[in-house]
Amino acid sequence: MTDDMTAVFREELRDLLDSLERGLLDLTSNPDDPSLINQVFRDLHTVKGSGAMFGFTELAAFIHNFETFFENVRSGKLKITAEIIRLSLAARDQIPGLVDGTPDPEGQRDAILAAVAALMPGAAPAVTTETDAAGRSDTEYEDESDVLSVALAASQATNRLTFRFAGDALGLGAQPEIILDELRGLGATGIVASVDDVPTLDALPVDQCMFAWSMDIPASVTEAQIEDVFIFAEADWSIEAPADADDDASGYDFNLDDFAAPSAPVVAQAQAPAPVAPTPAPTVPAPQAAVASKPAAAADHPNAAQAAQAATIRVAAERLDALMDSVGELVIVEARLTELARQSRDSALITTAEQITRLAAGLRDATMTMRMVPMRSLVARFRRLVMDLSASLGKPVTFSVLGEDTELDKTVIEKLADPLVHILRNALDHGMETIAERQTAGKSQNGVVELSAEHSGAEVLIRVRDDGRGMDPERIRAKAIALGMISADATLTQQQILSLVFEAGFSTASSVTELSGRGVGMDVVRRTIESLRGQIEIDSTIGKGTTVTLRLPLTLAIIEGLLIEVAGEKYTLPMASVHEIVELPAEKSVAKRGGDFLDIRGSFVPFLRLRQLFDCQGEHTTEQNVVIVQSGTARVGIVVDRIVGTNQTVIKQMSKLHSSVRAVSGATILGDGSVALILDVGHLITTGRVSPTETNKEAAA
């Protein structure tokens, strides 16, 4: 097996594990949903089959036990319980280690299998029995011959299964030995290969299998189980009862592994299974009539789904990044061509530039769409996190997710995971009360944590809301004063006080736990969100809960920008943040000592002057404009010398030397080859709403 093929398997495995975990977590709230049970079963079967095909035999043997376990769930012989979900999630966590060949010195995998064996239908209960003079209980056997005699004493009804690969199955990768191993795992015996249709060597097709096989299969094996065996191979198969079968016979499937030695507990049954040996299915009546021949394609895989899968192609993220970089360079060249065409006034060149502009815009939009990833890809890990934290803290929580289909740029999604983990941990550890505290407050025993995502213009709003105890501004203020973060006479709004939790080293926890209390989590959240050109807001009410809102751009690559000019230098503002543009009134042209405000339709809006913010020399010679930028409900005006126009802005990251300049979030290259800095709207809004004009210079540093 080549390294490339193994890499493909590992990539597919990640998706399968996400789907498996998502299905298991969904079963916690819908334990009787047959579609979810079938999804989990199919994921397990696919992991096992793919693992065996790529040579991961230990993985296949481990998963086979759980596949058999969920077959009992699917057939209604077992009901989903919290313990089953817990064991299944624990098994799911072991799969990456089995693929990587990680040893299991503590025997966790054997312990999981032992617990599964104890939950299987017909598992022997651990009971105390009378013993005879030889020390043997009435439920134990002296040696393996006793076990064999019991097994042989039971009648075992079988059906006759025959199958043949269809068409060019071998050319498409079908491997008969894997199919036969899986059928043996179901209890198939007496396997016979038919060579009646095998032609002479010179006429033998290399991509077709000319063999047919027949075998005895336990009557307890269902049609669905056989269909699952052929899920990866096109084959025609049929199963029928033997002609002399007794209509009243009942089939029993025995496995010697089910009968332990005298001193072996149930654990031993799961510790040393055959490589792919299944846990036997419970007894069911033998079928009363023959089953018609069936193709390998099951009803669970309709043609529409197959067509959809065929229309999907997996592309490495690095290739998408390279494509996005090339599109960005194309946009810059297109802007340069448009500028040259405008200067030359050549109609043919102008027409060509317009055509290239349209093509570049279409390519840009298509490329950005390919990079968009739904929030769903993150949700599963958060549901698992909340479930585990709820159990460890003893705080029952109902976790809901809204807007799973909301899409963001893949880079944003990748960097968003850690901040959301910190926020959810704080919501449960700090924000949520204990059961006793909630009852005293007249709340329901189960707390509520909600994660939602929605589009708002060119932004995505992600909110984490809880109905816990809320944040106490006075307590936060007192802690900040004690830590020396603010002075005792400082005048701060409630929003500014709540924002202190994002300062490094700040924590109101009375003790340090394994989850929180060191004052580093929310600081990391703020830095990460700011690195994504986003903003974070907190709204909290004592006794009712807290809402943390993340405002993030849809993409970090190309945006629509408003080009402005200040003291001869050009800057860019993201158009998504531009609310309106007004003229600066004559009476406001001279800066006051205090803060400046504009009266816009009866609403006072603070504004700041970029000339002062950037310490520009000289005086402006034209009428100035005010660009009103908005984020959420916060608005601030930015005084500029001239509005140049709009353009496609390819975002280039600033160097580490400029990382401390908080008023700038990036740079772009204009059509004439010059560089324009991209202004950080979030920082400008904070500066304009908090700092008076004369201190703007320090705020920009």
Q: Does some domain include residue 310?
A: no
Longest dimension (CA), the chain: 112
Same domain, 207 and 171: yes
Same domain, 619 and 547: no
Of 519, 553, 587, the domain-final residue: 553
CATH number of 470's domain: 3.30.565.10
CATH number of 656's domain: 2.30.30.40
CATH number of 58's domain: 1.20.120.160
Q: Does some domain include residue 135?
A: no
pLDDT for the residue 126: 40
Helix (H, G, I), strand (E, B) or coil at 645: strand
Q: Round to whole Å and give the CA distance between 371 and 410.
A: 6
- pLDDT, averaged in runs of 10, over the chain (701 residues): 70 85 87 87 84 81 83 84 88 89 85 86 48 40 37 58 82 77 82 82 78 86 81 80 50 36 34 38 34 37 43 77 90 90 91 92 88 84 87 90 88 87 90 92 92 84 93 90 86 84 73 49 82 86 92 82 92 90 86 74 89 83 86 85 89 77 84 89 76 40 44
Q: Round to whole Å and give the CA distance between 574 and 665.
A: 11
Same domain, 689 and 611: yes
Same domain, 545 and 571: no
Distance of CA 334 to the CA centre of its chain: 37
Radius of gyration of the chain (CA): 34
pLDDT for the residue 150: 36
3-state percent helix, strand, coil for the chain, nearest multiple of 5 = 45, 20, 35
pLDDT for the residue 263: 35
Same domain, 645 and 570: yes
C-alpha angle 255-256-261 in degrees, rounded to nearest 5: 145
Residue range(s) defining the domain that contains residue 148: 144-298
Q: Does some domain include residue 132?
A: no
Same domain, 517 and 539: yes
| Count of domains forming the chain | 5
Q: Which of 312, 279, 50, 276 is nearest to 183 (CA)?
A: 276
Same domain, 251 and 233: yes
Same domain, 420 and 339: no
Q: Does some domain include residue 139?
A: no
Q: DSSP class of residue 427?
A: I
Burial class (CB within 10 angstroms; exposed 0-12, middle 13-18, buried 19+) of 14: exposed
Question: H or E segment at 657?
Answer: none
Q: Does some domain include residue 268?
A: yes
Same domain, 398 and 481: yes
Same domain, 530 and 576: no
Of 528, 553, 578, the domain-final residue: 553
What type of residue is 388? D
Same domain, 532 and 594: no
Same domain, 577 and 523: no
Strand order in the sheet with 212-218: 189-194, 212-218, 158-165, 235-240, 291-295
Q: Does some domain include residue 134?
A: no
pLDDT for the residue 689: 65
Q: Does some domain include residue 303?
A: no
pLDDT for the residue 378: 82
Structure tokens at 199: 């032609």
Structure tokens at 245: 């079968």
Q: Does some domain include residue 312?
A: no
pLDDT for the residue 130: 41
